[in-house]
């Protein structure tokens, strides 16, 4: 029940944040927050949602997946294909409008494909763009493709009883393989160029100041729904079984539960949540490329959850928000260098060291993360 009790508090804090950001926004408020920072905040909420998914699978079910950013990235790619197609098509259509002979639909489609794929020396639509002209189908793929990959991967891994560090390595291999595949120029997703111009929403004439706050709201809504849904999932008997699997898989199995089935359920659910988070993240980032799903990204996701506190949904959110915002601060060039006379600390280089140190300290002195410390305070 513990998780369900945190829901009202979480929603209240989230609502306060949304209200504050809206009041300070360019579009609806005083303009105290820049458009780009609004986007950073919106993206942070998406990362919090991904961390929530990570907490489900790791903190509650004990599966240390180090590949969940693959699902996040796939969600981004799925929505990115539609964004790029629709926007490029609009541009092509506008360019051809002045032609003496009005262009046929086939010509527009050809022109669009040429625009999109000439960077990788291609001019035809790859098969995986088959539904990129349909927003509805593309959004369906945001859920289906990460879910399907998780289903197939999880089925193979869990059925063979791969657990612990072996499973972690396997998930790293999965995300590495996917990113290497996407790096190829001929696989249809524009290789290392990735998909770009995603911040422009086709058919919407409002400027970025409006789009940024709308996406921020959407991200907050997704996080709120994700939180309530996750809390519901882990607070009932399902949560008892899943935590049982984390603590003693064998016991659960001999009680007659199909451990593999439960793991698969949680794995797929969390992959779908990550896919949705990614689909909201990349239109705010504006660009997605295969580097996003490099193995290190998924490791960061686990680090956030560890720092925030495993097995407490709000811990994952706190960890992701805190660390990713600090990371933006330190690597964004805004943190002042520290001059020690003979040596200058440049944060861009030293932030990973600081993060690593923080991670080690938390692991040693606060195994339940920031949320664990918080719990102690509340109980006193």
Partner 1 sequence: MSALLEVNGVSVSFDGFKAINNLSFSIGEPEMRAVIGPNGAGKTTFMDIITGKTRPDEGEVLWGEENRSLLRMSEAQIAQAGVGRKFQRPTVFEDQSVRDNLMVALKKDRTPWAALTYRGSDADSARIEELATEIGLLDHLSTTAGILSHGQKQWLEIGMLLAQEPRLLLVDEPAAGMSTEEREHTTDILVNAAKTKAVVVVEHDMDFVRRLNCRVTVLHEGSVLAEGSLDHVMANQEVIDVYLGR
Q: What is the DSSP string of 35-99?
A: HHHHHHHHHHHHHHHHHHHHIIIIIIT----S-HHHHHHHHHHHHHHHHHHHHHHHHHHHHHTTS
Shortest Å, Cβ 367 to partner 1? 13
Minimum CB distance to partner 1 smaller for 240 or for 363: 240
Minimum CB distance to partner 1 smaller for 247 or for 337: 247
Long-range CB pairs of 235-242, under 8 A, 24+ apart, other chains included = 235/1, 235/2, 235/3, 235/4, 238/262, 239/3, 239/60, 242/60, 242/61, 242/266
Minimum CB distance to partner 1 smaller for 217 or for 238: 238
Minimum CB distance to partner 1 smaller for 55 or for 89: 55
Sign for the CA dihedral angle at 349, 36, 286, 153 comes to positive
Minimum CB distance to partner 1 smaller for 60 or for 304: 60
Shortest Å, Cβ 232 to partner 1? 8
Q: Residue 339 is inside which H or E element, if any?
A: strand 338-339
Shortest Å, Cβ 362 to partner 1? 20
CB burial string 164-195: b at 16+ within 10 A, e below: eeebbebbbebbbebbeebbeeeebbbbeebb
Minimum CB distance to partner 1 smaller for 269 or for 316: 269
Number of residues binding to partner 1, judged by CB under 8 A: 23
Shortest Å, Cβ 233 to partner 1? 7
Minimum CB distance to partner 1 smaller for 213 or for 242: 242
Nearest to 200 by CA among 283, 279, 130: 283
Shortest Å, Cβ 53 to partner 1? 17
Residues 233-262 that bind partner 1 (CB under 8 A): 233, 236-238, 240-241, 243-244, 247-248, 250-259, 261-262
Shortest Å, Cβ 156 to partner 1? 17
In sequence order, the β-bridge partners of residue 344 are 339
Give the strand pairing for 287-288 and 195-196. Answer: antiparallel
Shortest Å, Cβ 250 to partner 1? 7
Minimum CB distance to partner 1 smaller for 75 or for 244: 244
Shortest Å, Cβ 174 to partner 1? 23
Residues 263-322 that bind partner 1 (CB under 8 A): 265
Secondary structure of residue 166 in the 3-state scheme: helix
Shortest Å, Cβ 258 to partner 1? 5
Shortest Å, Cβ 260 to partner 1? 9
Binding mask 199-238 for partner 1 (x = CB under 8 A): ----------------------------------x--xxx
Using N-to-C axis directions, what is the helix angle for 313-331 and 35-54, rounded to 10°? Answer: 140
335 touching partner 1, by CB under 8 A: no
| Residue 197 to residue 5: CA distance in whole angstroms | 41
| Alpha helical stretches, state H, 129-286 | 135-159, 164-183, 208-235, 237-247, 249-254, 259-285
Q: Quote the DSSP letter at residue 341.
A: S
Minimum CB distance to partner 1 smaller for 62 or for 73: 62
| Residue 115 to residue 75: CA distance in whole angstroms | 23
Q: Quote the DSSP letter at residue 103.
A: P
Minimum CB distance to partner 1 smaller for 28 or for 254: 254
Residues 5-44 that bind partner 1 (CB under 8 A): none
Burial class (CB in 10 A: 0-12, 13-18, 19+), 245: buried
The residue ranges that bind partner 1 (CB under 8 A) are: 233, 236-238, 240-241, 243-244, 247-248, 250-259, 261-262, 265
């Amino acid at each position: 029940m513990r998780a369900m009790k945190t829901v009202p508090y979480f929603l209240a804090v989230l609502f306060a944040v949304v209200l504050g950001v809206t009041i300070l926004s360019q579009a609806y408020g005083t303009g105290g927050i820049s458009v780009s920072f609004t986007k950073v905040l919106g993206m942070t909420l998406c990362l919090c949602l991904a961390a929530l998914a990570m907490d489900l699978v790791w903190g509650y079910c004990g599966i240390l997946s180090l590949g969940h950013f693959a699902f996040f990235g796939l969600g981004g790619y799925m929505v990115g294909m539609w964004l790029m197609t629709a926007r490029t098509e609009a541009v092509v259509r506008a360019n051809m409008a002045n032609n003496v002979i009005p262009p046929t639909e086939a010509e527009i489609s050809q022109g669009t494909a040429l625009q999109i794929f000439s960077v990788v020396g291609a001019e035809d639509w790859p098969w995986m763009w088959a539904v990129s002209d349909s927003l509805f189908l593309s959004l369906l793929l945001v859920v289906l493709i990460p879910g399907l990959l998780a289903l197939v991967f999880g089925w193979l891994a869990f059925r063979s009883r791969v657990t612990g560090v072996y499973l972690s390595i396997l998930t790293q291999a999965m995300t590495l393989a996917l990113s290497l595949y996407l790096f190829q120029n001929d696989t249809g997703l524009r290789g290392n160029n990735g998909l770009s111009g995603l911040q422009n929403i086709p058919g919407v004439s409002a400027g970025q100041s409006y789009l940024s706050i709308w996406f921020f709201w959407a991200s907050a809504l997704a996080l709120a729904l994700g939180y309530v849904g996750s809390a519901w999932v882990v607070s009932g008997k399902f949560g008892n079984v899943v935590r049982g699997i984390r603590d003693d898989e064998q016991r659960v199995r001999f009680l007659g539960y199909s451990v593999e089935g439960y793991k698969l359920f949680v794995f797929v659910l969390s992959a779908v949540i990550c896919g949705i988070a990614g689909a909201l993240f990349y239109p705010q980032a504006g660009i997605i490329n295969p580097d996003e799903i490099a193995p290190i990204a998924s490791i960061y996701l686990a680090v956030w959850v560890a720092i925030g506190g495993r097995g407490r949904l709000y811990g994952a959110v706190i960890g992701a928000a805190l660390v990713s915002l600090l990371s933006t601060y330190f690597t964004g060039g805004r943190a002042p260098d520290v001059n020690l006379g003979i040596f200058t600390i440049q944060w861009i280089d030293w932030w990973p060291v600081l993060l690593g140190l923080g991670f080690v300290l938390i692991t040693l002195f606060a195994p339940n993360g920031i949320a664990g410390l918080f719990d102690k305070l509340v109980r006193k």
